[in-house]
Amino acid sequence: MDKLFHKIIELKDESIHSKHEQLVNGIINAINDSILNKGDRLPSINKMVNELGYARKTIVRAYEDLKSRGLIESKNFKGYYVLNTNTKVKLKVALLLYAFHSFQEDFYNKFRKELGEKYHIDVFFHHNNIDIFKNIVNSIFGKYGMYVIAPIPIAEVQNILKRFSPKKLLIIDRYIELPNEFSYISQEFEMATFLLLEELLPAIQKYNEMILLYTDKADFPVGIKNAFERFTRIYKINGKIEKEYEQDLVKANTLYFTIRDSDLWLLLRDCKNKNYSVGKDVGVIAHNENTIKEIISGGITTISTDFKKMGFEAAQLIKNQSKTHKIISLEIKRRNSL
């Protein structure tokens, strides 16, 4: 290990480097010069203290910094080992999403672009399944410098997320209540959906019935259902909730509010087969914007968060190492389907 210690010590003469930076940069230089290779064991913290004379907490902090970049890993009771030799990585990020829906692809693409190549991103999906969520969290905990998580909004997940350092956790997509020191960039569904439906009221009133396609068994936000029930009650709209769209059962003079794209595609196909004009014979509002909805059937009216904006904001927080509490507003994209 003499060559490793030499790499660290030679930085002592450069006054611009703190002790922390000397340790981190010295180890990185040792990796770049093949003094350290993947799988090699680093000196113990006690060994580093004895050889360099630095405070124990300085060495621990340097090792944690290298862990956050994905360069080293700690193994229980066995020490620290070189995990990766790509020293250009500035930070290793774990991104845990519901699933790779088209709108979450918009988030990811913007998030990836804004962070750039110096940030390594591993993507995981929990599919609104608490067991999968717990297994993923257990497998990634302590191995990344930053965790960006779309939570399942239940009490059990609140307790799981409190295990993370607030500085290393960003909540995205769904809001979940955590202590103030945790950051979030989330959506609000209930009040926002209600207010946007109010904006669409004259168009909605053209139809005899309004059907929300909603099921508790999917990862649908309950706020949308609550907003729909309140809206139809207050404005005396003939409203009904169906668990899913039943093929070939599209009805004229009916407005459908879809959340799941699979329901939307079946509905539009049946409108075409029955020669119903979307926006005249049948109305459609879809949740979550994507490019296809701009084009198909002359354009589908959507109520959606700007997921590209969410991705941009999340990347900026990580790059700036800042803290935020932000709700990304829902917006209407008014098109011919209403």
In degrees and rounded to multiples of 5, residue 39 shows phi and psi of 95, -15
**Per-residue pLDDT averaged across 315-322, rounded?**
92
Alpha-carbon distance of 244 to 237, in angstroms, equals: 20
Flag whether pLDDT at 273 surpasses 90.
yes
Q: What is the pLDDT of residues 224-250, one digit of tens each?
A: 999 999 999 999 999 999 999 998 899
Q: Radius of gyration of the chain from Cα atoms?
A: 26
pLDDT band at residue 219 under the 50/70/90 scheme: confident
Alpha-carbon distance of 101 to 32, in angstroms, equals: 39
Place of tokens 């717990």: 134
Flag whether pLDDT at 303 surpasses 90.
yes
Q: Which residue has the higher pLDDT, 201 or 43?
A: 201
**Per-residue pLDDT averaged across 71-82, rounded?**
82
Place of tokens 């926006």: 279
pLDDT number for residue 99: 86
Flag whether pLDDT at 272 surpasses 70.
yes
The CATH class that applies to domain 2-82 reads: mainly alpha
Examine domains 91-187+307-329 and 190-305 and report if their fold is the same.
Answer: yes
Flag whether pLDDT at 15 surpasses 60.
no
CATH number of the structural domain 190-305: 3.40.50.2300
**Per-residue pLDDT averaged across 269-293, rounded?**
95
Q: What is the pLDDT of residues 117-170, one digit of tens each?
A: 888 899 999 999 999 999 999 999 988 889 999 999 999 999 999 999 999 999
pLDDT number for residue 14: 60
**Per-residue pLDDT averaged across 296-322, rounded?**
94
pLDDT number for residue 13: 64
Flag whether pLDDT at 276 surpasses 70.
yes
| Beta strands per DSSP E along the chain | 72-75, 79-82, 91-97, 119-125, 146-149, 169-173, 183-186, 209-213, 239-242, 254-258, 282-287, 301-305, 325-327, 330-333
Alpha-carbon distance of 329 to 212, in angstroms, equals: 21
Give the whole-number percent of the chain exceeding pLDDT 70.
98
Q: What is the pLDDT of residues 98-125, one digit of tens each?
A: 987 877 888 999 999 999 888 889 999 9
Alpha-carbon distance of 78 to 173, in angstroms, equals: 38
Flag whether pLDDT at 24 surpasses 90.
no
Alpha-carbon distance of 314 to 277, in angstroms, equals: 40
pLDDT number for residue 184: 97
Any idea which architecture 91-187+307-329 has in CATH? 3-Layer(aba) Sandwich (3.40)
The tokens describing 206, both together, are: 């053209």
Name, in order, each residue with C-beta under 8 angstroms of 112's C-beta and a sequence gap of 6 or more. Answer: 121
**What is the dihedral angle through the alpha carbons of 137, 140, 145, 147, rounded to the nearest 10 degrees?**
-30
- Domain boundaries defined on the chain: 2-82, 91-187+307-329, 190-305
pLDDT number for residue 16: 66
Lowest mean pLDDT among 35-49, 258-272, 309-323: 35-49
Lowest mean pLDDT among 55-59, 148-152, 180-184, 212-216: 55-59
**Per-residue pLDDT averaged across 297-324, rounded?**
94
pLDDT number for residue 25: 84
| Contact by Cβ (8 Å): 66, 91 | no
